[in-house]
């Protein structure tokens, strides 16, 4: 279904945000609200949002006018729904209100109009009970604020038609969002459902006076989480959390209703940021959190195992696939990793024992291990289908490949594609490994250019990724070393195209390439020692071989950052070009090498240079003579000699 016009019913924060997103995608949208003041407030909210975008340079004044021109505000539902292909309800999270609204929408909309609800928790099937044609209703859960958050959960109710479900999924992607499919209707869907046990867990910690909110939040932030649990509850609204848990207690498990303190806070009107007081006082949109030492009452594995447990339940129930769960949680919670990634580094026994400890401490059934975890089948359940496992490894939350291969004749560009800084994490390494394997035996490709998609080569490792212990951190280092080394062992010429940043792991990646070409102002270096680390992906070994032990020692121990021009002076970089010319000149150089250099001679030369530096001189010389004998028997050697004598360009065939 092609959406030519959309309608949003409800002009609150979510409704106005959804309308803006639709208009920005080039689709006319009508916004309906029965309250004139709410309608004016919604229009003002969109204008303010666009004004901020204008000031930041994200849109022009002309674009602002065009976007506003596509939005119609009306107090008439019939007018709003006229000729609309999709109607999205965005009214408060009250079941009876939603049912009543959809009765009116169904009566006024075209029979072909798809109906969508932006509910964040309520089962689609319950809302659809009010409809004559429940197959038309689909869940379309945007995250707040819709203009910024990329995730949309698309939920299939028990009676939702497959065509309506797929149409909404396609529509969400057309809006520039990352959509995940929730194939089975359940309270909370994916992201909120996984977070639900945590909300109960942290409420019980305060209920039972195990520690203070500020201490637990200090612990959460010390573990790299962007916001502590109590600050987050205040931010989204204590009442929202309470009503969600109340709903889950009816739909999922009565134990969700055992949180006491947030119910008391609602009676006292302590709803968080919206009232200026919750667990904390709020001023100017920020929580005033008392200073506190990180709590000892909570461990990070408590949080992670609760998330894993709920994710496993969703997979067992057929609610969503592992890859969608991971993608959705990362985007919805603004986290660098989700429960599937964490589970990959843990055993069933570890997760089971931790959950049993939590269950024993609180006596809450929600915290009991899921069936697959109890049976020792954690790894099997999180793998899903093979193609889904591959997608989880090779795709970012936005659905793009983490590493792209672009072929141009006999040259392949291997482009990192992980956000604006192309940070390196376990998934990027896995995708890089797969890309190298794909190119390794491709006889058509003779030169590989390793580059960054966008303005940055790579600013280094993604330090916020979850690694459970020292042994796994050691293994993470080992995997990176081995994968990077493949570039130096690859039977092709490998060129690093360095720009903006080549720091830490990014610099190490470039050092494993055969040739480095850079912009003069590229920022290069190993800053690891300044954050308590060291170059752990071969940098401590490779840099000294390029620049000598004295300079390498100084650069590594000082954590000094230097420019591409200085790297050229040090002999690290072979050539420099301005950013405007870098790609063109690098690809010209790569194409020239691909057409004029014997691929067999290049492959053997690489091996001699790299292996020869690791063995005594006599052994290296023996290797060299053996290589000479090998190449003498090749057809490419004969072609090279013939071309030289005949003064023509050789046509090498890697034979």
C-alpha closest to that of 215 among 225, 226, 206: 206
Catalytic residue among 11, 45, 118, 120: 120
Total Cβ atoms within 10 A of residue 261: 20
359 included as an active-site residue: no
- The residue assigned the tokens 């639709």 is 22
345 included as an active-site residue: no
Total Cβ atoms within 10 A of residue 386: 8
Q: What are the structure tokens assigned to 24, written together?
A: 């920005």
Non-local CB neighbours of 454 within 8 Å, separated by 6+ positions:
417, 420, 422
Please check whether residue 338 is in contact with residue 330, taking contact to mean a CB–CB distance below 8 angstroms. Answer: yes
Please check whether residue 218 is in contact with residue 294, taking contact to mean a CB–CB distance below 8 angstroms. Answer: yes
In the three-class reduction of DSSP (H, G, I as helix; E, B as strand; rest coil), residue 440 is classed as helix
The alpha carbon of residue 92 and the mean position of all alpha carbons in its chain are separated, in whole angstroms, by: 29
How far is 235 from 278, CA to CA, in rounded Å?
9
153 included as an active-site residue: yes
Measured CA distances, 201 to 39, 240, 293, 356 (Å): 39, 16, 20, 14
Please check whether residue 105 is in contact with residue 115, taking contact to mean a CB–CB distance below 8 angstroms. Answer: yes
Please check whether residue 603 is in contact with residue 491, taking contact to mean a CB–CB distance below 8 angstroms. Answer: yes
141 included as an active-site residue: yes
How far is 327 from 482, CA to CA, in rounded Å?
27
C-alpha closest to that of 273 among 233, 306, 321, 220: 233
In the three-class reduction of DSSP (H, G, I as helix; E, B as strand; rest coil), residue 142 is classed as strand
Catalytic residue among 89, 153, 214, 415: 153
**Phi/psi class of residue 550: alpha, beta or left (left: φ > 0; alpha: ψ in -120 to 50)?**
alpha
Catalytic residue among 192, 195, 427, 598: 192
Catalytic residue among 121, 141, 167, 321: 141
Please check whether residue 536 is in contact with residue 472, taking contact to mean a CB–CB distance below 8 angstroms. Answer: no
The alpha carbon of residue 174 and the mean position of all alpha carbons in its chain are separated, in whole angstroms, by: 19
C-alpha closest to that of 570 among 538, 543, 590: 543
Measured CA distances, 39 to 34, 74, 81, 105 (Å): 8, 8, 16, 18
How far is 594 from 601, CA to CA, in rounded Å?
12
Does the N-terminal peptide bond of residue 145 adopt cis geometry, omega within 30 degrees of 0? yes
Strands 114-117 and 137-142: parallel
Total Cβ atoms within 10 A of residue 647: 6
Please check whether residue 518 is in contact with residue 568, taking contact to mean a CB–CB distance below 8 angstroms. Answer: yes
- The residue assigned the tokens 């940098």 is 539
How far is 13 from 7, CA to CA, in rounded Å?
15
Please check whether residue 196 is in contact with residue 309, taking contact to mean a CB–CB distance below 8 angstroms. Answer: no
Active site residues: 120, 141, 153, 192
């Amino acid at each position: 279904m092609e959406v030519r016009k959309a309608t949003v019913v409800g002009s609150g924060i979510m409704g106005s945000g959804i309308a803006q997103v639709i208009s920005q995608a080039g689709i006319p949208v009508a916004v309906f609200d029965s309250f004139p003041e709410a309608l004016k407030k919604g229009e003002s909210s969109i204008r303010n949002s666009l004004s901020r975008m204008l000031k930041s340079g994200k849109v022009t004044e002309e674009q602002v006018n065009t976007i506003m021109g596509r939005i119609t505000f009306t107090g008439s539902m019939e007018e709003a729904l006229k000729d609309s292909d999709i109607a999205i309800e965005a009214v408060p999270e009250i079941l009876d209100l939603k049912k009543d609204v959809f009765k009116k929408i169904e009566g006024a909309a075209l029979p072909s109009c798809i109906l969508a609800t932006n509910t964040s928790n309520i089962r689609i099937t319950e809302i659809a009970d009010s409809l004559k044609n429940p197959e038309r209703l689909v869940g379309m859960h945007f995250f707040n604020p819709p203009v910024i958050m990329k995730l949309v959960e698309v939920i299939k109710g028990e009676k939702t038609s497959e065509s309506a479900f797929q149409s909404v999924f396609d529509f969400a992607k057309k809006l520039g969002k990352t959509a995940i499919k929730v194939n089975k209707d359940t309270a909370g869907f994916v992201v909120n459902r996984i977070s639900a046990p945590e909300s109960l867990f942290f409420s019980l910690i305060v209920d039972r006076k195990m520690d203070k909110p500020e201490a637990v939040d200090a612990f959460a932030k010390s573990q790299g989480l962007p916001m502590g649990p109590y600050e987050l509850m205040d931010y989204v609204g204590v009442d929202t959390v309470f009503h969600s848990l109340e709903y889950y207690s009816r739909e999922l498990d009565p134990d969700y209703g055992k949180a006491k303190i947030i119910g008391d806070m609602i009676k006292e009107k302590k709803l968080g940021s919206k009232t200026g007081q919750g667990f904390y006082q709020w001023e100017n949109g920020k929580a005033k959190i008392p200073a506190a030492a990180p709590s000892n009452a909570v461990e990070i594995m408590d949080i992670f195992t609760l998330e894993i447990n709920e994710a496993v339940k969703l997979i067992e129930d057929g609610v969503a696939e592992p890859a969608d769960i991971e993608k959705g949680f990362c985007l919805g919670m603004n986290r660098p990793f989700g429960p599937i990634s964490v589970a990959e580094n843990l055993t069933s026994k570890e997760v089971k024992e931790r959950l049993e400890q939590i269950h024993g401490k609180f006596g809450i059934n929600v915290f009991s291990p899921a069936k697959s975890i109890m049976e020792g089948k954690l790894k099997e359940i999180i793998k899903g289908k093979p193609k889904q496992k591959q997608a989880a490894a090779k795709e970012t939350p936005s659905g793009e490949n983490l590493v792209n291969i672009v072929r141009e004749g006999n040259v392949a560009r291997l482009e990192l594609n992980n956000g604006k800084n192309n940070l390196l994490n376990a998934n990027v390494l896995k995708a890089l490994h797969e890309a190298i394997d794909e190119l390794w035996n491709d006889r058509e490709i003779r030169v590989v250019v390793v580059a960054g998609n966008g303005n940055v080569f790579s600013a280094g490792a993604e330090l916020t990724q979850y690694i459970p212990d020292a042994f796994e951190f050691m293994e993470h280092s080992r995997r990176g070393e081995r994968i990077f080394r493949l570039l130096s062992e690859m039977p092709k010429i490998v060129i690093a195209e360095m720009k903006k940043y080549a720091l830490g792991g990014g610099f190490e990646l470039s050092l494993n390439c055969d040739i480095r070409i850079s912009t003069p102002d590229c920022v290069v270096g190993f800053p690891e020692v300044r954050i308590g680390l060291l170059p752990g992906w071969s940098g401590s070994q490779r840099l000294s071989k390029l620049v000598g032990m004295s300079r390498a020692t100084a650069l590594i121990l000082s954590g000094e950052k230097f420019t591409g021009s200085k790297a050229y002076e040090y002999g690290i970089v072979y050539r420099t070009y301005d950013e405007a010319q870098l790609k063109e000149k690098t690809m010209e150089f790569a194409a020239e090498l691909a057409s004029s250099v014997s691929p067999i001679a290049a492959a053997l030369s690489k091996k001699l240079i790299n292996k020869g530096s690791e063995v005594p001189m006599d052994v290296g010389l023996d290797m060299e003579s053996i290589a000479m004998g090998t190449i003498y028997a090749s057809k490419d050697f004969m072609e090279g000699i013939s071309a030289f004598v005949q003064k023509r360009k050789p046509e090498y065939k890697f034979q």
